[in-house]
Amino acid sequence: MRKEHSNDSGFPGIAFATLPTTGETVAIRYGERIYYRVETTKTAEELNAIYGVTEAQAKTILASVMSGWATPPANQISHDPLRRSS
């Protein structure tokens, strides 16, 4: 598998999530308005671990694709575990 590089926002280029409504595993590319169904036996959590995506990043990216990228939470999360919010 090819790892997607982080973008200027610090988020990974791709993350995986489980849709709450259907239980499907999907791939989300940062900044895109759609998600892609993934045919795999691995869980979203396993795929995110392979790609180095944290749980907080995956949740934020899923929320952002569902609500639109111009709105929070993608613009407000502290995805750096060492960074403290002010």
pLDDT digits (tens, 9 = 90+) for 45-54: 999 999 999 9
Residues 38-61 have a mean pLDDT of 92
pTM to 2 decimals?
0.68
Is the per-residue pLDDT at 26 higher than 80?
A: yes
* 20 is a domain residue: yes
Would you state the pLDDT for residue 40? Answer: 92
What's the domain count of the chain?
A: 1
Query: Per the domain annotation, does 85 fall within a domain?
Result: no
Q: Is residue 80 part of a domain?
A: no
**Domain presence at residue 83:** no
- Is residue 5 included in any domain, yes or no? no
User: Structure tokens of 17?
Assistant: 């999530």
Q: Which domain holds residue 49?
A: 14-67
Residue 41 lies in a domain: yes
Question: How far apart are the C-alpha atoms of 2 and 51, rounded to whole Å?
Answer: 8
Burial 45-60 (b: 16+ CB within 10 A, else e): eebbeebebbeebbeb
63 has pLDDT over 70: yes
